[in-house]
Amino acid sequence: MRKPEQELAEIKSMMERSTRFLSLSGLSGILAGTYALIAVGMAYGWIYYPNPPYGFRTTYILDISTLTKLLVTACVVLVSSIATALLLSQQKSQRNSSKLWSPAGKRFVKALLIPLLVGGFFCIALFLRGYTIIIAPATLIFYGLALINASHFTLSDIKYLGYCELVLGVLSAFFPGYGLIFWALGFGVLHIIYGAMMYYKYDR
């Protein structure tokens, strides 16, 4: 006969699975961070090389050739990160005998997408108006807000990544010439650290 505390733990686990999206993969965070660092390295070569990745640029960032390469690279990183997250989350949900697109999963995606979409359109407006210098802070801040908003429907650990992104975004606003470095830290290094922690905590 099972003890009352065992039954309570099982009930708690069932309720958590029904209300929270628990299929996030730590490995997907590591890979997304790796993709971002590779992209930042490529962007450094196009914009700054052989100078440091801040201040004076060797090419005008709004040059059509440079801008096209940056946009294509950003899209490739975004699509690759999403595809990796979906694939690994699907594999994790199968191992846990749960559905990927459960009601909890849909709530998580909705909570994540609303700040991201708003932030995306806001950054497009900044670009069209010529305020490119604050696009890096804006992307980090809106991404941080999206993670914190989505943390209510998944593993709460993700909110700490969101807080770190917010801090980097605000700092980036005070040091606009260092946007590429803050991007590398926010979308690259932090993702790898967060992903490694999540992998060792939940995926092994």
Task: Give average pLDDT by consecutive 10-residue segment, the chain, 204 residues.
Answer: 51 48 78 94 85 65 76 88 85 71 78 90 88 89 92 84 95 89 94 90 73
- Residue 151: predicted pLDDT: 86
Q: Residue 16 is encoded by which pair of tokens?
A: 């958590």
Residue 7 Cα distances to 2, 42, 190, angstroms: 7, 54, 38
- The distance of Cα 83 from the centroid of its chain, to the nearest Å, equals 13
- The pLDDT of residue 142 is 94
| Cβ–Cβ under 8 Å, residues 200 and 29 | no
Question: What pLDDT sits at residue 114?
Answer: 92
Contacts 24+ apart (CB under 8 A), 33-36: 33/187, 33/188, 33/189, 33/190, 33/191, 33/192, 33/193, 33/194, 33/195, 34/188, 34/192, 35/77, 35/80, 35/81, 35/84, 36/77, 36/81, 36/183, 36/184, 36/187, 36/188, 36/191
The C-alpha atoms of residue 46 and residue 54 are separated, in whole angstroms, by: 13
Q: What is the predicted pLDDT for the residue at 4?
A: 54
pLDDT score recorded for residue 130: 80
Token code pair at residue 7: 């039954």
Count of residues in the chain: 204
Give the domain ranges of the chain: 25-203
